[in-house]
Amino acid sequence: MARRTPLFAIHQSAGARIVDFGGWDMPLQYGSLLAEHHAVRRAAGLFDVSHMCVVDLQGEGVRPFLLKLFANDVGKLTVPGKALYGCLLNERAGVIDDLIVYYLGEQWFRVVVNAGTRDKDLAWIRRHAEPYGLTVRERTDLAMLAVQGPEARARLAALLPPPLAERALALGAFFGAELGRWFIARTGYTGEDGFEVMVPAEDAEALWRSLVAAGVQPCGLGARDTLRLEAGMNLYGNDMDETTNPLESGLAWTVAMTTPRAFIGREALEAARARGLEHKLTGLVLEERGVLRSHQRVLAPGIGEGQITSGTFSPTLERSIALARIPIAAPDQVQVEVRGKLLAARVVKPPFVRHGKSLVG
């Protein structure tokens, strides 16, 4: 039996097409996926992301614990409310999951991990937390909504009492704050400005209805995927997993190795770097008609081949784009095998779209 978020009944009554995602019954789309996508790029869209797993880590040892467990450096988190994106690595430097860490206090960090990896993440965290004497609490009492798009912050702020609205609008990028009963963060997975809001489960339905009444478009997982891919953001399980390290997954920027900090996976990463990386994760833009899909072969003649890890039609660019893992020496022009034909694609550095604008020419 799949799990359901506190907003499931709303999705069902809105006529959403429901699919299984990481063990959850989630809305794929409410009507037109393209319309949902464009609403986020042009105005504001609303996503139920309550399937994501919120875990509070509390105790005196929480910072040393994260310095060891998290491949990015929580030493960068000095101002309360600041968030940091990065990976949990295993000893072989394979990616166990990608996550956001919020610094809420010297004895309180909050992490948000993927739904499909919840069980193994919690097991990994609990196992390593034991010597640090931490309290590890999964916040199943919270629902999470993402409000994304150029008008998203104003639409959400309009629902808050004026003093809280002012504080919400003052949040810098990648900062969050507890405002009344809600935790509001200026984060997201779309390449647009916006908020992710954690609220007590019993508040979720009223908040959802208020935002929809304010003209914010409900969006499903379909648009979430096209938006994140245009924004050049990885999806765990597609673009990286335990068999790939962050350096060959476009995530080198999330691994902090300039200080001597001993984090899990560091030795394996250094060894991989010393051996020389063979692959890189990069963007592709299809130069012909067709649609790139995950697992299609990418050919760099004379050099080698790779594979698409995520592909889609880009509603903003009106052509197909992809993330692909290809030989590090691949040239700027490659071929992709699409349904038995070789089509020309251009290698580009993601993101493809940022704040509604094409970045790939």
Least distance from another protein to the Cβ atom of residue 291, Å: 5
Q: Looking up tokens 């940022």, which residue turns up? A: 354
Q: Smallest distance from the beta carbon of 192 to another protein, in angstroms?
A: 18
Q: Would you say 139 or 293 has its CB closer to another protein?
A: 293
Nearer to another protein, 109 or 313 (CB): 313
Q: 167 φ, ψ to 5°?
A: -70, -35
**Size (the chain), residues:** 361
Tokens 């080198």 sit on residue? 252
Q: How far is the CB of 289 from another protein (least distance, A)?
A: 6
Q: Provide the minimum distance between the beta carbon of 28 and another protein in the complex, in angstroms, as a whole number.
A: 8
Complex with another protein: residue 167 or 297, whichever CB lies closer:
297
Backbone angles phi, psi at 63, to 5 degrees: -70, -50
CB-CB contact of 152 with 161 (8 Å): no
- The CB-of-298 to another protein minimum distance in angstroms stands at 17
Nearer to another protein, 29 or 190 (CB): 29
Cis peptide bond prior to 200, omega within 30° of 0: no
Task: Give the other-Cβ count within 10 Å of 46's Cβ.
Answer: 26
* Nearest residue (CB) to another protein, 254 versus 320: 320
Return d(Cα 195, Cα 202) in angstroms, integer.
19
Torsion of CA 65, 68, 70, 73, to 10 degrees: 100
Residue 161 beta carbon to another protein: minimum distance, rounded to whole angstroms: 39
In this structure, are residues 71 and 87 in contact, taking their beta carbons and an 8 Å threshold? yes
Cβ atoms 326, 300 nearer than 8 A: yes
CB of 226 to another protein, least distance (A): 6
The Cα angle at residue 319 between residues 315 and 324, in degrees rounded to 5: 100
Strands (E), 122-175: 135-138, 142-148
CB 90 within 8 A of CB 117: no
- Rounded least distance, CB 19 to another protein, Å: 10
Binding footprint of another protein on the chain (CB under 8 A) = 28-29, 32-34, 222, 226, 289-291, 293, 312-313, 315, 339
Cβ closer to another protein: 184 or 336?
Answer: 336
| Cβ count near 284 (within 10 Å) | 25
The nearer residue to another protein, 28 or 53, going by C-beta atoms, is: 28
